Amino acid sequence: MQQASLKVNEVFESLQGEGSYTGAPSIFVRLQGCPVGCSWCDTKHTWQINLEDESSSEDVMAQNFESSQWFTVTPASLFDLFSQQGYVAKHIVITGGEPCMFDLRDLTELAHSLGYTTQIETSGTFEILCSSKTWVTVSPKVNMKGGYEMREDALLRANEIKHPVAMQKHIDELDSLLTLLPKDKQPLIYLQPISQQKRATDFAVKTCIQRNWRLSLQTHKFIGLE
């Protein structure tokens, strides 16, 4: 059976620095393409899928800087790549870009059959197609330039919601999204201060305590990891 192919911007092994899996050794698979248009996005090089940026996996893996280059790979070939690289982590984080622009069922189901756990980090603006065992992190993006609406089915599928915050307006946005979910289907909520600013961090800490939510601190940035 032909597997859905993926356009990959970057693959690397590190520690997951955010949310429930903080501290877990992980293989990150960053997919190319995102039309959501967040102004503070720190992966703008993944936004466009330009045909002239298509490259080989060897060239993309050899790069040690941010680039808009990408390569096409099937899920099975991706696991060959993990072996070639000598990766030992057993948790795979599929990120982007917006990974849910791709059908991720083949990749996540194959990963689970090989003994990996999987996680998707998504904006929640596309349908999430993945294994039922995948841990889904929705980081809601509301009123962004691309004009994409948050999807109720994405919120319902979320195991955790990781919300970037700097001010009360962001909490109000989150509250209005949470009203879409039944009381018994509320996921874990993590607040993540935007850009590690002190004011945003203080605000997130105060709100987490008031609301009994959790704090996510992008710990990888504090210890100099990608």
Q: Return the residue of 7, 30, 91, 141 that touches ligand SF4, per CB under 6 A.
A: 141
Q: Are the beta carbons of 166 and 199 closer than 8 angstroms?
A: yes
Task: Name the segment binding ligand SF4 (CB under 6 A); options: 34-42, 75-83, 180-188, 206-214.
Answer: 34-42
Q: Is 41 in the site for ligand SF4 (CB under 6 A)?
A: yes
Query: What would the two tokens of residue 102 be?
Result: 């791709």
Nearer to ligand SF4, 147 or 185 (CB): 147
Return the SS3 of 60: helix
Q: What are phi and psi of 91, to 5 degrees?
A: -120, 130
Task: Name the segment binding ligand SF4 (CB under 6 A); options: 38-46, 65-73, 109-117, 154-162.
Answer: 38-46
Q: Is 36 in the site for ligand SF4 (CB under 6 A)?
A: yes
Nearer to ligand SF4, 45 or 91 (CB): 45
Give, in degrees to the nearest 5, the angle at Cα 41 between 40 and 47: 140
For 151-182, the three-class secondary structure string (H helix, E strand, C coil) is: CHHHHHHCCEEEEEECCHHHHHHHHHHHCCCC
Q: How far is the CB of 84 from ligand SF4 (least distance, A)?
A: 27
Q: State the pairing for strand pair 71-73/25-31.
A: unpaired
Nearer to ligand SF4, 36 or 81 (CB): 36
Nearer to ligand SF4, 116 or 126 (CB): 126
Task: Give the residue ranges of the annotated binding site for substrate.
Answer: 15-17, 30, 95
Instruction: Write the CB contacts of 142 (distance below 8 Å, at least 6 apart in sequence).
Output: 150, 173, 177
Q: Return the residue of 3, 5, 22, 43 that touches ligand SF4, per CB under 6 A.
A: 43
Query: What would the two tokens of residue 87 be?
Result: 């990766």
Whole-angstrom distance, CA of residue 83 vs CA of residue 137: 26
Q: Return the residue of 10, 18, 98, 109 that touches ligand SF4, per CB under 6 A.
A: 98
Would you call 1 exposed, middle or buried from its count of C-beta atoms within 10 A (0-12, 13-18, 19+)? exposed
Q: How far is the CB of 80 from ligand SF4 (least distance, A)?
A: 27
Q: Is 120 in the site for ligand SF4 (CB under 6 A)?
A: no
Task: Name the segment binding ligand SF4 (CB under 6 A); options: 9-17, 29-37, 196-204, 213-221.
Answer: 29-37
Q: Is 92 in the site for ligand SF4 (CB under 6 A)?
A: no
CA distances to 2, 8, 58, 116, 195 from 74, in Å:
9, 10, 15, 17, 34
Q: Is 108 in the site for ligand SF4 (CB under 6 A)?
A: no
Q: What is the binding site for ligand SF4 (CB under 6 A)?
A: 34, 36-38, 41, 43, 46, 96-98, 123, 141
